[in-house]
Amino acid sequence: MSGGKVIAIIAAIVGIIAGGIAIYQFISPEPPPPDEPSFLEKVSGSYVLASWVQAHRPVELGIEIPEGTLEVGTDGIMNWSVLLQQTYTANPGRVRMTARGRIQVGSQKVLGIQGGQYNNTQYLDNRWGQVSSDVVLAIRGWSSGQPEDAFQMSIDEGGGGSLLLQMSNSRGTFTWRKH
């Protein structure tokens, strides 16, 4: 066999293989898009308090919340801690409150989880009397163990890759910024 015939046979075989690859690529389905993260995967992580806005109903609470942190687990358990100050006095009392809740994915509500190990009130000075049940409802979403004022959640995937998570009930709205 001459050199020209061998090259022609090799070229034919390469052409057949290339044609087979092209046909395969044409008839094979597109690869599936990457999975969208679940709601819990999207919101899990650490947050800092961006703001708390009081609803001014059903009562005026007389507090401000200058700082807070939130941790959301992939299992839907949320733990938050906030610092409260009174607004109606020149020398405000300060209280640190912690709370725990569970996200109900279908309704995007946060229902409080009872237990003193999760829901603590620490008086940081002696300028504040007993925290009212209305303030407890504003911070925890429950006061006497029932979800009297459960939080409704929403998320905003704002520009710059930052995620804002809001928790609202009739007493106010927490806005948390993921970091």
Q: What is the pLDDT of residues 2-50, one digit of tens each?
A: 777 888 888 888 888 888 787 877 777 776 667 778 889 999 999 999 9
Domain total for the chain? 2
pLDDT of residue 132: 87
pLDDT band at 53 (very low <50, low <70, confident <90, very high): very high
144 pLDDT exceeds 80? no
Q: Are residues 14 and 53 in the same domain?
A: no
Q: Which of 103, 102, 104, 139 is nearest to 120 (CA)?
A: 139
pLDDT: which is higher, 175 or 56 = 175
125 pLDDT exceeds 70? yes
**CB-count exposure of residue 142 (10 Å: 0-12, 13-18, 19+):** buried
| Element housing 42 (H / E) | helix 39-43
Q: Tokens 């200058």 map to which residue?
A: 66
Q: Are residues 144 and 105 in the same domain?
A: yes
Q: Are residues 84 and 120 in the same domain?
A: yes
Query: Taking the CB of residue 148, how many other CB atoms lie within 10 A of it?
Result: 16
What global pTM score does this model have?
0.77
pLDDT of residue 10: 82
Mean pLDDT of the chain: 86
Q: Tokens 């597109």 map to which residue?
A: 30
Q: Are residues 7 and 47 in the same domain?
A: no
Q: Are residues 98 and 160 in the same domain?
A: yes
Task: Assess contact for 171 and 151: CB atoms under 8 A.
Answer: no
For residue 83, what are the domain limits? 39-178
160 pLDDT exceeds 80? no
pLDDT of residue 127: 84
Q: Are residues 3 and 59 in the same domain?
A: no
Token pair, residue 172, equals 């106010």
Token pair, residue 39, equals 């709601």
pLDDT band at 75 (very low <50, low <70, confident <90, very high): very high
Q: Are residues 1 and 80 in the same domain?
A: no
174 pLDDT exceeds 70? yes
Q: Are residues 45 and 79 in the same domain?
A: yes
62 pLDDT exceeds 70? yes
| Neighbouring residues of 80: CB distance < 8 A, sequence distance ≥ 6 | 68, 69, 70, 71, 98, 99, 100, 101, 174
